[in-house]
Amino acid sequence: MKKKKIVVLTGAGISAESGLKTFRDSDGLWEGYNIEDVATPRAWKKDPERVLRFYNLRRENVLDAKPNAAHAGLAALEKDFDVHIITQNIDDLHKRAGSSKVLHLHGQILKMRSEKNERLVYDITGNINIGDRAADGAQLRPHIVWFEEPVPMMENAIAITQTAEYFVVVGTSLVVYPAAGLLNYAPHGIPKFIIDKKIPYNSSLHDIAIIEKPATEGVELLAKLLKKSLTNKGF
C-alpha cells in the first residue's frame, strides 16, 4: 500500500533543543553578532574575515550537537509515511537522525562554495579561511543563503508542498519569508499542524491544529495523532 505523504517544514526551534542557538532568541543578536554584520552580502563584502569566523564557529557548534528526540521522531515516521523534510536550518541533524528526504532551503553549514559560482559546492568540516579558493579561483564562502539573497530551493519546496497529504510545521512561528509562505501552497482541506513553544496569532492559522509545545514534546504527540489517523481513517 502506498504511504501517505507528510511534508514537514522545520525551523530553528527544533535544533534549539540540541543546543544550537538562534538569533531570534536574543533581540536580533546571534551570540553577540548583529545579523547585518555576518549574514548579508554586504557584510561579506565589507569584512569577509569576520563572516568566515562567525560561520566557522557555527560549524563547530553543529558538529558538536546531536539530533534530539524531535529529529528522531520525524525520522521514525518514515516507517508508516512518505516523509519529506523542508528545513530552514543549516545543520545536518535531520540527516543524522535518519531522515532520508531533506531539502535545505537556506543552505548547509557543512558545505562551502565559490563566491562567484554557486554551483561550485564542496563539503567542509573544518574552517574556511581567507585565501581558500574554489576551482574557478574565487574565494570560498559558506554555502548559506544570506538575508537579501534569493532562495534557489524555494521552487522545489513549493512543488513538494503542493503534493502533501499532511503538512506539519515544527519549530518556527512562520515569520521568516519566503519559507513561511509555504503554508499557502499546501492543498486545501488536508490535515495541517504547527508545533512551537510560542505561537503568535496569525490569521493564516485558522485551519491548522496548534500544538504549543517544545519540538521534542510536540513531535511525540504528533506521532500519536498520525498513528491514530491510520487506524481510524481520520482524526
Mean pLDDT by 10 residues, the chain (235 residues): 94 93 57 83 97 96 97 98 97 98 97 97 98 98 95 96 97 73 92 87 70 96 90 65
User: What is the domain class of 21-64+110-144 according to CATH?
Assistant: alpha beta
Residue 132 has φ and ψ, to the nearest 5°, of -75, 125
Q: Tell the CATH superfamily of the 1-19+67-106+151-235 domain.
A: TPP-binding domain (3.40.50.1220)
Looking at residue 27, what is its pLDDT? 47
Looking at residue 234, what is its pLDDT? 59
Q: How far apart are CA 35 and CA 25, in angstroms?
A: 13
Asked if 144 contacts 109 with a C-beta cutoff of 8 angstroms, the reply is: yes
Looking at residue 131, what is its pLDDT? 98
Q: Cell triple for residue 159?
A: 512543488
| DSSP states along 198-228 | S----GGGTTSEEE-S-HHHHHHHHHHHHHH
Gap between the terminal Cα atoms of the chain: 20
Q: Would you say the pTM of this structure is higher than 0.85?
A: yes
Q: Any idea where the domains of the chain sit in the sequence?
A: 1-19+67-106+151-235, 21-64+110-144
| DSSP states along 125-140 | SS---TT-B-TTSPBE
Active site residue 106: yes
Looking at residue 198, what is its pLDDT? 79
Angle at 228 between CA 81 and CA 94, to 5 degrees: 40
Q: Cell triple for residue 11?
A: 525551523
Q: What is the per-residue pLDDT across 39-57, written as a single tens digit (0 to 9) for each?
A: 999 999 999 999 999 999 9
Query: How would you classify the pairing of strands 82-87 and 102-104?
Result: parallel
Q: How far apart are CA 44 and CA 46, in angstroms?
A: 5
Asked if 172 contacts 88 with a C-beta cutoff of 8 angstroms, the reply is: yes
Looking at residue 200, what is its pLDDT? 66
Looking at residue 190, what is its pLDDT? 95
Asked if 171 contacts 144 with a C-beta cutoff of 8 angstroms, the reply is: no
- Which of 71, 84, 104, 106 is catalytic? The answer is 106
